[in-house]
Amino acid sequence: MQQGIKILCSGTRTFSRITIRPESRRLLSIEALEKVKLAKRVLNRNNKKSSIILIDGLNVIKEAFNAGLQLHTFFYSNDNIFDEHFSEYIFDISDECLCKIPKWYLNSMTSVQTNRGVAALFFKPKTSSFDEISMASDKELLPVTLICDNVRDPGNLGNIIRSAAAANCSSVILTHGCADPWQPKVMRSASGSQFQLPIYYDITWGQISCSKALKSMNFYLAECMRDQYQYLQNTRSTSHISNEKKLVPYYDIDWTHKSGALLAIGNEAHGFKLNTTASVTECCDITQRITIPLCHRIQSLNVATAASIILFEASRQMDAKRHYLKSC
């Protein structure tokens, strides 16, 4: 058996610098079996504390390579996968990382019903400690830090992260209760956007309030404006927010302010719960409560849609300001 090729199938084929020799179609080496078991553990367990992530999508694996993530194991079932999709990355994959396995093994260790014949384990990208978070010094970045509170749906969280990266957000903060940003469903939904910006997860509102860098930013709490009766009821029941800070449309906010902005969005079904809102206001000085005005008595938008609308309004304002300054 060639060193570094863990699982081999019948027939011999040479591609690039890797040679596959004839072996049993079904048998796994002990080392390969351990790697498959590791992939299954990463898939089935809470992955927030693990240093390894499982990626089971072609495009997301490519994004991981492009972002310079360190490869742990590259699983594949067909030699053609390199010629068709990964020829430009072949020299980034050492023999020790290769693990060829039957496709039914791949299907059992990934979260998709029909796997494309490839999956990979990568080491998580390194992010600085939350204590070291600071306002972005890069003038090309949008001076907005997005806070997601209790966003549990993987698809929603992935779309939010993708929008934050597309709008060139400074960073994303996920409070305790949010979905794991490194689980495969979130990564597929985000299409690898996790690799493009800092993500801090399992953060408490207490930690946010203690951050000197975040304290200096304007803090905006995004809420749903339901019908007037509902709005009045909410205002009465959340009087601790200070009644002078009424809901204002998101487009009336100056998102280009030099102090930067914190934008907090809540759970997809219920927004911010009363106890959460109370704890937020105790910890943080809210600059303004904002909303997206809706027509036809529509009560709310999908949380990912709402986040995208606000972030791209902020991006539009920033682009307009840069264009104006260049023309002066």
* Residue 174 burial by Cβ neighbours in a 10 Å radius (0-12, 13-18, 19+): buried
Which is more confident, 115 or 241? 115
> What pLDDT shows up at residue 319?
94
Residue 230: which H helix or E strand, with range?
Answer: helix 228-237
Query: Is the distance from CB of 162 to CB of 189 less than 8 angstroms?
Result: yes
Query: Is the distance from CB of 129 to CB of 294 less than 8 angstroms?
Result: no
Provide mean pLDDT across the span 300-307.
Answer: 92
Query: Is the distance from CB of 122 to CB of 53 less than 8 angstroms?
Result: yes
> What pLDDT shows up at residue 276?
59
Fold of 13-123: 60s Ribosomal Protein L30; Chain: A; (3.30.1330)
Whether 282 shows a pLDDT value over 80: the answer reads no
How is the chain split into domains, by residue range? 13-123, 130-327
> What pLDDT shows up at residue 226?
52
Cβ partners under 8 Å of residue 51, min gap 6: 123, 124
Residue carrying structure tokens 């951050």: 211
Average pLDDT of the chain is: 81
- The whole-angstrom separation of Cα 248 and Cα 292 is 8
Sorting pLDDT into bands at 50, 70 and 90, what band is 7?
very low
| CATH class for the domain made up of 130-327 | alpha beta
Residue 87, token pair as written in the block: 């020829």
- The whole-angstrom separation of Cα 113 and Cα 23 is 27
pTM of the full structure: 0.81
Cβ partners under 8 Å of residue 68, min gap 6: none
> What pLDDT shows up at residue 234?
53
pLDDT tens by residue, 58-110: 899 999 999 999 999 999 988 888 888 888 888 888 888 999 988 888 888 87
